[in-house]
Structure 1
Amino acid sequence: MLSTKNLSPRQLAAYTAGILSIPIAIGIAVLTMNWKIGVVSLGVVFAGSYSLIIITLERFIYRKIKLIYKLIYQTKATKKEEVYFKYILPQKSIDEVREDVEEWGERRNREIESLRQNEAFRKEFLQNLSHEFKTPIFAIQSFVETLLDGAADDEKVRTKFLQNTSKNVDRLVNLVNDLDEISRLESGAQLLYKQNFIIQDLIRETYDSLSIKTQAKQIKTSIKKGCEAPVTVFADKEKIKQVLTNLVENACKYGKNGGTIVASVYKTDDSHVLIEIGDDGIGIEEEHLHRIFERFYRTDTARSRDKGGTGLGLAICKHIIEAHGQSIHVRSTPDVGTTIGFTLEAKREV
């Protein structure tokens, strides 16, 4: 027997009309003993049954299905969608409609799960933001109140407290600047001024600008052997310098005394260049790797805050690289070291 599982409404109507009309036509032909009358009866009964069934299906079933589709799209139907509802939708089988609804349901579940995750991240971000602001603000408040209570009369105490107040003000300024930077990058308001430049020269320039910090920990900086040959990239030079500065500063903060920071440059293909900054420091536990580019995320909160910084450096790096249409990644092993790499577009003829 013919399966009706995947029949469209019109096919189902024709199938049902055929089941009804054939026995009736045969009965009429037998009773009248006239096969011509039987054939005419077959046509009339089939046409009448088909019309009645299709009208019933379209008015009472597909009108409901049409409402379901409008609920799925959640918008006022365009002319194109109205054509779809009128001509294409009735051709679909009930199973196809069910599959569409199930697909919509799965999509909504993914959206809801994404919203839940975003809400959790939002709450965590606000908590971290509050903590990052409160720490320097309370410190400044404490220093000022102590000075007002009479400590200002002692020159040494006054100088020390004012210096500490200045450091905390600088921390607040850096925090606001970093937040503003991320906001502009996320909104797309931060324009990129791309140009061709040699990436090794920019790495050496970054090393030189941070030499005081690296020398204080006796950390040696270098470009990996075999990666010294000049490689030209096409990117915003100032933004990439900011990325390199953040990565080298991080490597210095969490690197061991007397350790090394090594930069590597590879041409992965004709269109892309991979740049990596590696250290032999404390490393990062595996469970933290997928979150280190989040704003304010710290693998060890107390130790990280002792190291200074706003907790936004890696988040800024991620946004800058993604603004270039490229990707950034991390590899790390505890007590072995960390390597953070990112891709850039290779030299472009301009």
Structure 2
Amino acid sequence: MSLKLKKSYKFAFKSAIYITLFSAFFLAGLLSLCLQFSWTVVLLFGMCVFTFSFFVLQYRVERFIYRRVKKIYDDIALLESSTLRNKSITTDMATLTRELEKFARDKKIEIETLKIREEYRREFLGNVSHELKTPLFTVQGYLLTLLDGAMNDKTLRKKYLQRAEKGVERLIYIVQDLDMITKMEVGDLNLNFTKFNIVELIQNVFDLLEMKADRKGIMLMFDMKYIKPIMVYGDQEKIQQVVTNLVVNSIKYGNENGTTEVAIEDLVNNKVIVRIKDNGEGIEAKNIPRLFERFFRVDKSGARTEGGSGLGLSIVKHIIEAHDEKMYVESTYGKGSEFSFTLEKTK
């Protein structure tokens, strides 16, 4: 690609002035010694020296320096740096140095970002492989056992088929969640915005998860009695999924005989914030930034025994962001966690 050269005459101009001043003072000194000093001669001599020096220096700079500068830009252009390719090229050394330093910084950041993405890709593929492998091997094990002769025993046959069905259900659950996240990331998630009562929605979630909470002795409760409805604007089905995922997490990681408390508070700019707080094991500070990554688990060994796809919090984050709202996490390790999100309030 041919690059346009924007020349700089600063170097030649300053150098010519220095040579001219030196030559003029030197000539003035000689004339003074010869007792024939003349300002006219000095000025004419200075103008001649300046003109000659300027053009010679500029020619030499263009021939030996600018060509090398242009080659540097050509080499950089091969790396497809949009920052440099869209600009006219300067031969000013200070400007060139700044641009090259910026180019180097940008490339370093780009390389570091690519390394992080590569590490995330490897970890993500490993997690997907693990999540799919467990139910697949479970189903395969039960089916092979049936084929090896257990199918003749009616009791074992029904038992193993039921367990295999659970493994298939978990596979379907993981695939459906992955499909949903993919649609969210490409902007293919259609939201149906309506007005609804967030208090009623949360109570419905409590009713659905009451038996699950009872098994651990966890009480699902509001922070206070909400007599009047609190109307919000959003996709009711998706927000119910958000609340369900967060309450399920609070039950899953909550302490036995603990509580899951939900609060709804007014904010400025016609917003409300829904807080879901538990008194469970809490989350270490180092793990909080990664909570919403797909398949990331704080307790990689124990969490899988609780089931789930490992995509719940990632789905929550995508749904809230699709509503142009904010998601927050506060946690103290050993004391509990609080997940909260904002919604637009309506009358």
2:45 corresponds to which of 15, 20, 41: 41
Counterpart in the other structure of 1:4? none
1:313 aligned to 2:302? no
Decide whether aligned partners of structure 1 residues 36 and 291 sit closer, same or farther in structure 2, where only a CA change above 3 A counts.
same
Decide whether aligned partners of structure 1 residues 76 and 338 sit closer, same or farther in structure 2, where only a CA change above 3 A counts.
closer
1:302 counterpart SS class: coil
Q: Matched residues in 2 for 1:229 and 1:271: separation? A: 17
The one-letter code matched in structure 2 to 1:224 is: D
1:65 corresponds to which of 59, 69, 76: 69
The one-letter code matched in structure 2 to 1:276 is: R
Structure 2 residues not aligned, in runs of 5+? 1-6
Q: CA deviation at 1:182?
A: 1.3
Decide whether aligned partners of structure 1 residues 210 and 96 sit closer, same or farther in structure 2, where only a CA change above 3 A counts.
same
Q: Matched residues in 2 for 1:229 and 1:55: separation? A: 84
1:171-217 CA deviation, whole Å, 9 max, x = no partner? 00001111111111122222333344343332223223323322333
Q: CA deviation at 1:77?
A: 8.1
Q: Matched residues in 2 for 1:304 and 1:193: separation? A: 33
Counterpart in the other structure of 2:117? 118
Q: Matched residues in 1 for 2:23 and 2:255: separation? A: 94
Decide whether aligned partners of structure 1 residues 234 and 52 sit closer, same or farther in structure 2, where only a CA change above 3 A counts.
farther
The one-letter code matched in structure 1 to 2:213 is: T
Q: CA deviation at 1:260?
A: 1.5
Q: Contact 1:233–1:344 (CA<8 Å) still a contact in 2?
A: yes
The root-mean-square deviation of aligned C-alpha atoms, in Å, is 2.9
TM-score by length of 2: 0.85
Decide whether aligned partners of structure 1 residues 26 and 291 sit closer, same or farther in structure 2, where only a CA change above 3 A counts.
closer
Q: Matched residues in 2 for 1:97 and 1:209: separation? A: 65
Greater mean alpha carbon deviation, residues 243-252 or residues 24-33? 24-33
1:205 aligned to 2:204? yes
Q: CA deviation at 1:335?
A: 3.6
Q: Contact 1:227–1:264 (CA<8 Å) still a contact in 2?
A: no
Q: CA deviation at 1:165?
A: 0.5
Q: CA deviation at 1:346?
A: 4.4
Decide whether aligned partners of structure 1 residues 58 and 204 sit closer, same or farther in structure 2, where only a CA change above 3 A counts.
farther
Q: Matched residues in 1 for 2:68 and 2:343: separation? A: 52
Q: Contact 1:270–1:346 (CA<8 Å) still a contact in 2?
A: no
Counterpart in the other structure of 1:220? 219
1:150 aligned to 2:154? no
1:152 counterpart SS class: helix
Q: CA deviation at 1:123?
A: 1.1
Number of corresponding residues: 335
Q: Matched residues in 2 for 1:124 and 1:56: separation? A: 56
The one-letter code matched in structure 2 to 1:268 is: L
Counterpart in the other structure of 1:5? none
1:74-110 CA deviation, whole Å, 9 max, x = no partner? 449899945x32xxx34x5x33432332222222222
Decide whether aligned partners of structure 1 residues 49 and 117 sit closer, same or farther in structure 2, where only a CA change above 3 A counts.
same
Counterpart in the other structure of 1:194? 193
Decide whether aligned partners of structure 1 residues 81 and 332 sit closer, same or farther in structure 2, where only a CA change above 3 A counts.
closer
Structure 1 residues not aligned, in runs of 5+? 1-7
Q: Matched residues in 2 for 1:278 and 1:256: separation? A: 12
Q: Matched residues in 2 for 1:51 and 1:236: separation? A: 73
TM-score by length of 1: 0.84
